[in-house]
Amino acid sequence: MIRIITFGFLAGFVSVLVFHQGTAFLMYAFGNDVPAVVSFFGRTNAPFAMTPTRPLGVPLVGSQAFWGGVWGIVLALILVKLRPPALLSGFVFGALALTAVAVTLVPALKGLPGWSGAIPWRGLLYNGAWGWGVALMLLAPLGLRR
């Protein structure tokens, strides 16, 4: 169990920095120049935001990486216990679970307005990339099926 938790946290943490923020970089560097992409996803901010977060003043990307690690543990447990196809399940889990929490629970905890009803396409893409990356990194260490 400690192995699953450790690998899950590490994979989730690294996946934020590589896959989540890598997708953000691609959208920022190339997507902002394509009108169809901008009309669908909106304008993309620069990745690796160093804006301090409350209450500890940790840079935003550091906070995202930490919480990516926590969610990585959850995804690792799901992949090991249920044995679904890892890459597809990782993408779907990331896209749906993380985005649902980001538009409902997080704003409620921060006292911000909740979900407006618009589909958060960019969040689905970034979080799906995160989940796919976590599953990819866990394939060998946890003996998952692709």
Q: What does pLDDT average to in each consecutive run of 10 residues of the chain (146 residues)?
A: 96 98 96 94 94 91 97 97 96 97 91 85 97 97 87
Report pLDDT for 116. 84
Domain ranges (residues) in the chain: 2-142
User: In angstroms, what CA-CA distances link 43 with 20, 29, 68?
Assistant: 16, 11, 23
DSSP H helices, the chain, are 2-15, 21-29, 35-41, 60-82, 86-93, 99-103, 105-110, 121-142
What pLDDT, on the 0 to 100 scale, is given for residue 145? 82
The whole-number pLDDT of residue 45 equals: 93
pTM over 0.85: yes
